[in-house]
Amino acid sequence: MGTWDDGPFDNDTAADWCVDLHDADPSARSAMVRAALTTAALNTGYLDHDDAVYAIAAAAIVASHMPDGDPITSPYAPDFLLAGESLDLDDDLPQLAVDALDRVFSDDSEWRDSWGKAESRDFPQIHKLRAVLSGPPELPGQLALL
């Protein structure tokens, strides 16, 4: 396994998944993103490293489609996204992506174990993804102003 940075696409496993996503029939791509997120989010055992990496890449793709999401610019991301195409994603995917990222950072995750329990690393790119996917925080009294 080659890892060159801590971004969502910065390892061989994520790059390979992105090639598979790019090569898939366009009508199947959204389902592949959902499957990657669901596999991680619903895992109740020890989360496999590859499943965690797929979920992180899928979460980055979902976040890029959000109003505050950054466009995908990594050369290791799916080529169709780099070319400006997008996916038709269901409204429930941002929350599923949050759940998947939370699972990736949980105690029973090979990805977390491989990074030394992640306490010594901040992972700002991944935390930013989670923040974008979660939406803006609700301010106290916000509903009263409406």
What pLDDT is recorded for position 119?
A: 53
pLDDT tens digits for range 38-79: 999 999 999 999 999 999 999 999 999 998 899 999 999 999
Tell me the whole-structure pTM to 2 decimals: 0.88
Q: 1 burial class (0-12, 13-18, 19+ CB within 10 angstroms)?
A: exposed
How far is C-alpha 91 from the geometric centre of its chain's CA atoms? 15
